[in-house]
Structure 1
Amino acid sequence: MRNINEDTITQAVLASMDDRCDSRLRTIITSLVQHLHSFVRDIKLTEAEWLKAIQFLTEAGHITDDKRQEFILLSDTLGLSMLVMALNHKKPTHCTEATVFGPFYVEGAPEYENGADIANGARGEPCFVSGQIRGLDGTPVSGARIDVWQSDEDGFYDVQRSSDGSGSAAHQARGRLYSGIDGKFQFRSILAEAYPIPHDGPVGRMLEALGRHPWRPAHLHFMIVAPGYETLITHVFRDGDKYLDSDAVFGVRSTLITDWVEHDPGVAPDGTKMKKPFYTVNYDFVLNPAEVHA
């Protein structure tokens, strides 16, 4: 490995890997090294630019903690998250499309009965959400585990808010429930609003330098898990939002857009007498059967 130069270094790096290493790891690293080296040669990367890139990644690491994942934001805003999602979740035409997971899912969300209020004091106009979960053949899926989460009207998720004094963030506009025997579900939350992704860190500075905005169109996050079916991670987007065609993380799909219907004061779907206007949204999910391996 002596006298390596710009023409021979790529092969030298590839040759340094032990033949006994994991074959998939070898495939990934081989392609990564080849593409990185080609990229550097193609743009004739300067030492100053290389150092700036290292500093950018270092800052992303420093700002990442248990409430903020800057590397997911970076992946999302470069379209990488959506590309990986699309490659790994190809579905039949009539199945609900998957989209990006996002950085604000948390384990341990509270469980609720169907029809419950999951807002838990989150700021926003009242909204009643309903739908049905079915298989590709139209069969209702009962007992499906439904995780749902969203931001409040100020554009913040509960994990971005200050703690409730107990040392952990209070769960708001987030919860877990299960579909009924007919595959149906319903809950009360708040109106979905557009919001900017966190842009006070290195990813935000990158977007600004590129002349891009940090906004996401209004949406609800869903993760649906049911035996015999592929797990579905997706959003439901609010029709009419001005950012539907310029989502900062490239997650919008036309099949995931639906109407949020505004209602005058009156009786809500759960029988509650509402003294102010409220919204309803209904969306049905179609799950893809899981592959059966012999």
Structure 2
Amino acid sequence: MRNLDQDTITQAVIAGFEQTPDPRLKEILTNAVQHLHAFARETRLSEAEWMEGIRFLTAVGQQCDEKRQEFILLSDTLGLSTLAVAMNNPKPAGCTQATVLGPFHVAGAPSYAHGEDVANGAPGVPCLVRGTVRGIAGDALGAARIEVWQADAQGLYDVQRPGLAQHQARGVLHTDAQGRFFFRTVVAEAYPIPADGPVGALLRATRRHPWRPAHLHFMIEAEGYESLVTHVFREGDRYLDSDAVFGVRSSLIAEWVPHDGPEGRHYTLDFDFVMNKAAV
């Protein structure tokens, strides 16, 4: 372990993992070191540049709290989240595609019955969301757990509003015996991801915009089926082809249909989800 240089350091570090009892941990650490060292060699990374990288990652961690996950945001904007989702969620034809979780999912969302208003006071134009959850064979999935969350008309999630006493524009409901669900909320609008932290600084340095196309988040769980984390995107949004977190799938784009009535304009969104069977 003495007199290590740029030609011998990598193998010396890898040798330090030889006694790791968990084989998967050993594999991950070995490959991580190999790729990190190869990156440093390929770019001829200077000490000053590496220290700047450490400062950046430190700032990302310091921005994280129970309401904001800057590391997920970094992973999203670098495409790593989408890569991990694509590798780990292969779906047969006909199943609803998965996409990124995003940094604003939180535990403890309130429960709602069918037809209730999950917006719960969030600003925006009223919208009725309807659909079904079915298996790949077409069977209705009753009692499937559906968790939804979204930004409001001002481009904010409830956890971004300091002092808000209750959750807004997020909730949990369950499908009926025919696999149906419906709830009221507000129309999804495009919004910028938080750009006041180190990830925003990175986007500005690379001349990238921070905008996400309008969407609703869904997390669906049904017994005997793979869990599904996905979005439904709004047809016609200007950012569908330049999503800051690379999450758009054509099969997840749907139309928010406008309606005018005595109480003003409102919208409807209809979308059906198809779940893949879990491996036995």
Same fold by TM-score greater than 0.5: yes
Distance across 2 between alignment mates of 1:149 and 1:81: 19
Q: How many positions carry a matched residue from both structures?
A: 280
Counterpart of 1:259 in structure 2 is 255
Distance across 2 between alignment mates of 1:62 and 1:130: 40
Counterpart of 1:185 in structure 2 is 181
1:32-43 alignment to 2 at 5 Å?
32-43=32-43
Q: Deviations over 1:47-106 (max 9, x none)?
A: 111010000011111111111110000000000001001100001010000000011111
1:76-155 alignment to 2 at 5 Å?
76-155=76-155
Letter in 2 for 1:279: Y
Distance across 1 between alignment mates of 2:110 and 2:122: 14
For the 8 Å contact 1:197–1:215, the answer to whether it is kept is yes
Counterpart of 1:239 in structure 2 is 235
Distance across 2 between alignment mates of 1:17 and 1:129: 52
Q: For residue 20 of structure 1, report the CA deviation from its aligned partner.
A: 4.2
Matched, 1:170 2:170: no
Q: For residue 19 of structure 1, report the CA deviation from its aligned partner.
A: 2.5
For the 8 Å contact 2:20–2:26, the answer to whether it is kept is no
Paired residue for 1:202, among 193, 198, 201?
Answer: 198
Letter in 1 for 2:27: T
Q: Identity across aligned pairs (percent)?
A: 61
For the 8 Å contact 1:133–1:287, the answer to whether it is kept is yes
Counterpart of 1:276 in structure 2 is 264
Q: For residue 21 of structure 1, report the CA deviation from its aligned partner.
A: 2.6
Counterpart of 2:222 in structure 1 is 226
Aligned-partner SS, 1:264: strand
Counterpart of 2:69 in structure 1 is 69
Distance across 1 between alignment mates of 2:220 and 2:20: 39
Q: For residue 17 of structure 1, report the CA deviation from its aligned partner.
A: 1.7
Distance across 2 between alignment mates of 1:86 and 1:103: 18
Q: Which runs of no fewer than 5 residues in structure 2 stay unpaired?
A: none
Aligned-partner SS, 1:185: strand
Aligned-partner SS, 2:264: coil
For the 8 Å contact 1:163–1:170, the answer to whether it is kept is no
Aligned-partner SS, 1:277: strand
Counterpart of 1:9 in structure 2 is 9
Q: Deviations over 1:142-176 (max 9, x none)?
A: 00000000000011000111223xxxx52101110
Distance across 2 between alignment mates of 1:235 and 1:20: 39
Distance across 2 between alignment mates of 1:61 and 1:174: 26
Matched, 1:46 2:49: no
Aligned-partner SS, 2:203: helix
Letter in 2 for 1:89: N
Q: Which runs of no fewer than 5 residues in structure 1 stay unpaired?
A: 267-274
Letter in 1 for 2:200: G
Distance across 2 between alignment mates of 1:278 and 1:20: 59
Counterpart of 1:269 in structure 2 is none
Matched, 1:289 2:277: yes
Q: For residue 241 of structure 1, report the CA deviation from its aligned partner.
A: 0.2
TM-score under structure 1 normalisation? 0.94
TM-score under structure 2 normalisation? 0.99
Q: Deviations over 1:213-247 (max 9, x none)?
A: 00000000000011010000000000000000000
